[in-house]
């Protein structure tokens, strides 16, 4: 179907533009009906909410939502979890800020714990991405208000590159071996000319820089990468240096292979590949000499040959790029595993964290309250606005102006509005149903639309069923409705069918429905509260 | 036609058939995400800034072209 199914709580389509992805509803943790998906991605960002207490509670709640999602997906499904970065809002007190940091830290530790316990779950450190972006650059408020984009959309390119690298690491596309030159690569100077005492290794600059580089490479070796040497030198000179220069960190015993002679380096590299029984494409060749590098690039295009820094003090950043490009590995170390259990015990807000066994539990925990009432004058602008902007959950996509709505309120129309609130706050007026009263017994649903913010929590079902119940109590017996397909509203194609309407006619422009209210039975919801105002 | 602007349209809509009549009304592929991508690209390329009220109005090649001319002239 697509590469990614992305569970999200905010608009991230702009920044995820380069991914082949389908997106969940906001805060919607229903599993998609179609598939398969190569990856499920959990991309929840800290919401921009002015009340930090609510924000913290929401973040805790996300942990429970995630646990439910993971428990419902098969163990063969790869799930990627994005860690949460600190949001771009200032809290009013330092104490609130600390509580928020703690909440986010707990959230990220929870994610790590879940990744620990489930081999199909992998962590993606989104915090690393945001840390490399200047704070002010992370959000563009204009695009936040216009498009609800919490992350600055101009970061899309950078994000895409970074994300693809993360994916590569997760897919364990990792080079296996690094083949190193010696002179001016692992130490300063030329052994054959400067002698064992003259080469710069250890001590003052540049020896300390080369020593740092050698030590870093040794760490790389500990993580499973093979080290090898390919150098134009006399082998006896090099053996002598390895045995007698105490500052040289990488010695014979650390190498899986070496070719020290005056032959063509490309041939030597091939020999090493044969000895180690690895492919040329898993080899990284590091040499300070541009002509040697060029020769190997030409002769062995499968071998990765990065440029070497001009100055020894640039070796640490060079080493970082080696990790980034060739040797990054997705793995949780023992230390990480230890850390995460410690934090789990320290989680002070455990009492607020719930474990959902199923969707019903989850829905109940949200304390969703629906408020339904006939359209008031104050609601008219919002109703018109919704009709202009709502594209996805909109059965007929009729656009109204304020004066349209006003006229309808004064003639044979009944308009109900829906406001929704939950544990975390009020979403306001987010649903509208417009009935045209054709006669005393018959009404037609001219418009049924809901804001995408509230989808996925059965609200779309409850609202219409409640209003049908109200109409029935006014002696309406016969309801007509229509679905008009557009580019955006295909999710509503079978909505009326699911609500029990009979489809009378279907063609490429519309589906016509009819419902007899005489047999209409309505069971009030158990997981939501509904209030109908006079 | 403004060459640079045309290039942006071609990029965003992945099409070489953009003419001056190209608009949101006559192209179903011009959805809200594409709309924002278009605006973003134009802002970045021409180093200008569109206000939210303007962004909503810029739903055709012609409208964007004249808004651009106006802004660059300022």
The verdict on a CB contact (< 8 Å) between B28 and A143 is no
User: What is the pTM (predicted TM-score) of this model?
Assistant: 0.63
| Residue B28 with chain A: CB contacts under 8 Å | 487
Peptide bond before residue A206 is cis, with ω within 30 degrees of 0: yes
B48 touches chain A (CB under 8 A): no
When computed from its CA atoms, the radius of gyration of chain B, rounded to whole angstroms, is: 11
pLDDT at A426: 84
Judged by CB atoms closer than 8 Å, whether chains meet at A391 and B32 is answered as: yes
Q: Give me the pLDDT at residue A333, please.
A: 45
Q: Dihedral sign, CA of A23, A25, A29, A35?
A: negative
Residue A386 near residue A451 (C-beta atoms within 8 A): yes
**Rounded alpha-carbon distances, angstroms, from residue A192 to A98, A108, A184, A265, A393:** 59, 53, 12, 18, 76
Q: Which residue has the tokens 């309808």?
A: A408
Whether A434 contacts A413, CB under 8 Å: yes
pLDDT at residue number A457: 87
Q: Which of A16, A21, A153 to mutate to test the interface with B (most CBs of B within 10 A)?
A: A153
Of A98, A116, A99, the closest CA to residue A60 belongs to A99
Substitution target from A146, A156, A390 for chain B, most B beta carbons within 10 A: A146
Is the preceding peptide bond at A484 cis, omega within 30 degrees of 0? no
Query: Is the predicted pLDDT of residue B57 greater than 50, yes or no?
Result: yes
Nearest to A303 by CA among A323, A287, A319: A287
Are A156 and A164 within 8 A, CB to CB?
no
Strand order in the sheet with A121-124: A21-26, A2-8, A37-43, A78-82, A121-124
Given a contact cutoff of 8 angstroms between Cβ atoms, the answer to whether A60 and A102 are in contact is: no
User: Is residue B49 very low, low, confident or very high in pLDDT (cuts 50, 70, 90)?
Assistant: very high
Q: What are phi and psi of A282, to 5 degrees?
A: -105, 15
- HSE, CB side, 13 Å, CA atoms: give it for residue B35: 21
Whether B31 has its CB under 8 Å from any CB of chain A: the answer is yes
Cα–Cα distance, A344 to A22 (Å, whole number): 32
| For helices A265-276 and A290-299, angle between their N-to-C axes, nearest 10 degrees | 60
Count the neighbouring beta carbons within 10 Å of the beta carbon of residue A490.
11
- Of A14, A146, A149, which has the smallest distance from its Cβ to B55's Cβ? A146
Name residues whose C-beta falls within 8 Å of residue A39's C-beta, 6 or more positions apart in sequence. Answer: A3, A4, A5, A78, A79, A80
Q: What is the pLDDT of residue A330?
A: 54
pLDDT for residue A488: 85
pLDDT in tens, chain A (534 residues): 688 999 999 889 889 988 999 999 999 999 998 878 888 999 999 988 888 889 999 999 999 999 999 999 887 788 999 999 988 667 778 888 888 999 999 999 999 999 888 877 889 999 989 888 877 788 888 998 888 888 888 888 889 999 998 887 776 556 889 999 999 999 999 999 999 999 999 999 999 999 999 999 999 888 788 999 999 999 999 999 999 999 999 999 999 999 999 999 999 999 999 888 887 878 999 999 999 999 998 888 878 999 999 999 999 999 998 988 888 765 544 444 444 444 444 443 344 456 777 888 888 888 999 999 999 999 999 999 899 889 889 999 999 999 999 999 999 999 999 999 988 888 889 999 999 999 999 999 999 999 988 888 899 999 999 999 999 999 999 999 999 999 889 889 999 999 999 999 999 999 999 999 998 888 889 889 999 998
Look up the ipTM and state it.
0.89
Do the Cβ atoms of B52 and A488 come within 8 Å? no
Which of A377, A359, A376 has its CA nearest to residue A368? A359
Planar angle of CA A366, A367, A371, nearest 5 degrees: 125
B37 contacts chain A (CB < 8 A): yes
**Chain B CB contacts of A146 below 8 Å:** 36, 52, 55
Q: In the β-sheet with A528-532, what is the strand arrangement from edge to edge?
A: A502-507, A510-516, A478-483, A442-450, A425-437, A413-422, A368-374, A528-532
Q: Does A485 touch chain B (CB under 8 A)?
A: no
Q: Report the residue of chain B nearest A487, measured CA to CA.
A: B28
Query: For residue A363, what pLDDT is reported?
Result: 85
CA-CA distance, B70 to B64, in Å (whole number)?
10
* Contacts A–B by Cβ distance under 8 A: 27
């Amino acid at each position: 179907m697509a590469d990614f199914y992305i569970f999200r709580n905010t608009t991230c389509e702009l920044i995820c533009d380069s991914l082949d992805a389908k997106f969940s509803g906001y805060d919607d943790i229903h599993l998609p009906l179609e598939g398969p998906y190569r990856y499920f991605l959990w991309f929840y960002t800290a919401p921009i909410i002015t009340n930090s207490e609510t924000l913290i509670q929401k973040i805790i709640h996300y942990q429970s939502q995630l646990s439910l999602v993971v428990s419902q997906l098969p163990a063969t499904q790869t799930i990627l979890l994005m860690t949460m970065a600190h949001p771009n809002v200032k809290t009013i007190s330092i104490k609130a800020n600390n509580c928020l940091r703690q909440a986010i830290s707990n959230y990220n530790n929870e994610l790590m714990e879940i990744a620990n316990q489930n081999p199909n779950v992998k962590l993606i450190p989104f915090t690393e991405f945001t840390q490399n972006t200047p704070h002010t650059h992370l959000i563009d408020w204009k695009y936040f208000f216009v498009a609800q984009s919490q992350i600055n959309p101009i970061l899309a390119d950078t994000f895409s590159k970074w994300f693809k690298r993360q994916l590569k690491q997760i897919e364990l596309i990792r080079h296996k071996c690094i083949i190193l030159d010696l002179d001016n690569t692992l130490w300063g100077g030329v052994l054959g000319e400067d002698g064992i005492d003259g080469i710069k290794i250890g001590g003052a600059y540049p020896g300390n820089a080369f020593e740092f580089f050698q030590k870093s490479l040794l760490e790389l070796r500990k993580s499973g990468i093979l080290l090898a040497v390919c150098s134009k030198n006399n082998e006896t000179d090099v053996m002598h240096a390895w045995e007698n220069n105490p500052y040289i960190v990488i010695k014979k015993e650390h190498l899986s292979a070496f070719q020290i002679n005056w032959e063509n380096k490309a041939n030597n590299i091939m020999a090493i590949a044969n000895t180690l029984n690895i492919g040329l494409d898993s080899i990284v060749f590091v040499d300070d000499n541009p002509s040697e590098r060029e020769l190997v690039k030409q002769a062995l295009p499968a071998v990765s040959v990065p440029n070497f820094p001009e100055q020894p003090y640039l070796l640490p950043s060079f080493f970082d790029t080696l990790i980034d490009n060739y040797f990054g590995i997705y793995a949780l170390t023992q230390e990480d595993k230890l850390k995460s259990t410690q934090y789990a015990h320290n989680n002070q807000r455990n009492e607020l964290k719930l474990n959902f066994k199923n969707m019903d539990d989850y829905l109940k925990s949200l304390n969703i309250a629906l408020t339904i009432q006939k359209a008031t004058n104050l609601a008219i602008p919002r109703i018109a606005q919704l009709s202009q902007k709502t594209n996805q959950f909109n059965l007929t996509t009729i656009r109204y102006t304020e004066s349209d709505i006003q006229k309808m309120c004064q003639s044979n129309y009944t308009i109900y509005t829906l406001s929704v609130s939950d544990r975390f706050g009020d979403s306001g007026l987010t649903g509208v149903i417009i009935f045209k009263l054709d006669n005393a017994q018959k009404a037609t649903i001219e418009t049924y639309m809901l804001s995408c913010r509230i989808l996925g929590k059965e609200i779309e079902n409850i609202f219409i069923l409640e209003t049908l119940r109200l109409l029935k109590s006014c002696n309406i017996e016969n309801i007509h409705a229509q679905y008009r397909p557009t580019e955006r509203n295909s999710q509503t194609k079978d909505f009326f069918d699911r609500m029990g309407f009979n489809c009378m006619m279907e063609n490429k422009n519309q589906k016509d429905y009819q419902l007899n209210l005489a047999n209409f039975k309505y069971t009030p919801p158990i997981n939501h509260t509904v209030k109908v105002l006079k | 036609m403004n060459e640079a602007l045309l290039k942006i349209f071609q990029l965003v809509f992945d099409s070489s058939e953009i003419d001056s009549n190209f608009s949101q009304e006559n192209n179903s592929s011009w959805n809200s995400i594409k709309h924002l991508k278009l605006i973003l690209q134009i802002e970045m390329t021409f180093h200008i800034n569109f206000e939210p009220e303007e962004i909503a109005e810029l739903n055709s090649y012609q409208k964007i072209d004249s808004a651009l001319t106006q802004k660059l002239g300022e």
